[in-house]
Structure 1
Amino acid sequence: MSRSDIRIETERLVLRLPRAEDFGRYAELYASEEASRFIGGTMPRAAAWRKFLQMPGAWAVQGFAMFSVEEKSSGLWLGQMGPWRPDGWPGNEIGYAFHPDAWGRGYAMESAVASIDWAFAQLGWNDIIHCIDPDNLPSQKVAQRLGSTLKGPGRLPEPFQDHPVRIWGQPREQWLARRAQERQP
């Protein structure tokens, strides 16, 4: 399977590689003060374009990155979710950002489960983390519902070294045991 063929379907979502047509809603996400608060802050459209290109670039260079998440029924781009490990990062992250009109619908959980399953199966990772701002309570709740626990404070590489984060995470064995238990009748 080539990278361009990677497609994960859940009950309501499609996770796939980013495409240029995703950019309009991505730019809206980064234009929103509330939506971008914990992911670097607002940025003008031209800067958002350069940031948008990080994920396709990571797919090309590393063979993985966050997926674009789209609503299966409408094809609407909702956000991004998935594996992320830039140089100097504190671990194998499953990260995400969603357009504000996608919040509160369970899309983060649904796409996170699919992304974690994929990362463990396809990338062979032995653990995952989530780097979460201490004030980002909704993301902390998602991490807890995924079975991740607070590991402690973390430090991101430059130029993000002054951005406070707490590291949440779990090992592969814990995730697989939890998934097996969920599948039991």
Structure 2
Amino acid sequence: MTVLCETERLIIRQLDLGDADFILRLLNDESFIRYIGDKKVRTREDAINHLTNGPMASYKTNGFGLNLVQLKGESTPIGMCGLLKREELEHPDLGYAFFPEFCGKGYAREAAEAVLKQAVAEHSMHTILAVTAPNNLRSMHLLESIGFNLTGTKELYGLENNLFEYHGR
């Protein structure tokens, strides 16, 4: 288990194959499908393939990827947060998703700020993007509150998204 960073309440670590049940549950959550998209992960085997070809492949190729976010002291996985490198975008982008019961408690903000700080320090990233569905008001508010600026829109996977940009210090 590779821990990337910790906050007062959270541990942010790389995903591994032992997280297949977590991924299966999160990617089939109604809010994940509505705001992020249907990844067609329906079985534990699908989840293992998603982990292998998604986050774990990104760690090897890019040195970063989406990470598991868990409550400190409990090992309870509550969501994921990290950076993606998509061919369609010039710079890496911040991604996050949390189970509904952990939304509105500041966990996403705490995780996103820690991931941004780690990306600037460890990878010398100075421009990081983020995309959101235009109707995802909570996500847009979160991005603006941590220093992202809305710069326009970007079509990804056949859907128009708001495009945000962050400049690290």
TM-score by length of 1: 0.82
Unaligned runs of 5+ in 2: none
8 Å Cα contact 1:33/1:41 also seen in 2: no
CA-CA distance at 1:90 after TM superposition: 4.1
Q: Percent identity?
A: 25
**CA-atom RMSD, angstroms?**
1.7
- Deviation per CA, 1:75-128: give whole Å up to 9, x if none: 011111111112232422111111222222111000001000011111111211
Q: Where does residue 166 of structure 1 map in the other structure?
A: 162
How many residues are matched?
166
**CA deviation after TM superposition for structure 1 residue 6, in Å:** 4.1
8 Å Cα contact 2:3/2:11 also seen in 1: no
CA contact (8 A) 1:8 1:15 kept: yes
How far is 1:149 from its partner?
Answer: 1.3
**Alignment partners' CA distance in 2, 1:73 and 1:5:** 16
Letter in 2 for 1:52: L
Q: Which runs of 5+ in 1 are unaligned?
A: 174-185
Which digits, 9 at most, give the CA deviation of each residue in 1:43-75, with x for residues without a partner?
312434432331011101221112211111210
Q: How does 1:9-158 map to 2 (within 5 A)?
A: 9-41=6-38, 43=40, 44-45=42-43, 46-53=45-52, 54-156=54-156
Give the direction of change, closer, same or farther, for the CA distance of 1:168–1:35 in structure 2 (3 Å limit). same
Deviation at 1:5, TM superposition (A): 4.2
Deviations 1:10-54 (A, max 9, x none): 000001111222221221112222232122126312434432331
Higher strand share: 2
TM-score normalized by the length of structure 2: 0.89
CA distance in 2, matches of 1:33, 1:152: 27
Task: Tell which structure's C-alpha radius of gyration is larger.
Answer: 1
- Secondary structure, counterpart of 1:164 in structure 2: strand
Question: CA 1:135/1:90 → structure 2, altered by over 3 Å: closer, same or farther?
Answer: farther
| Partner-residue secondary structure (3-state), 2:115 | helix
2:113 aligned counterpart, secondary structure = helix
Q: CA–CA distance in 1 between the matches of 2:148 and 2:39? A: 28
Please, which moves more after superposition, 50-59 or 117-126? Answer: 50-59
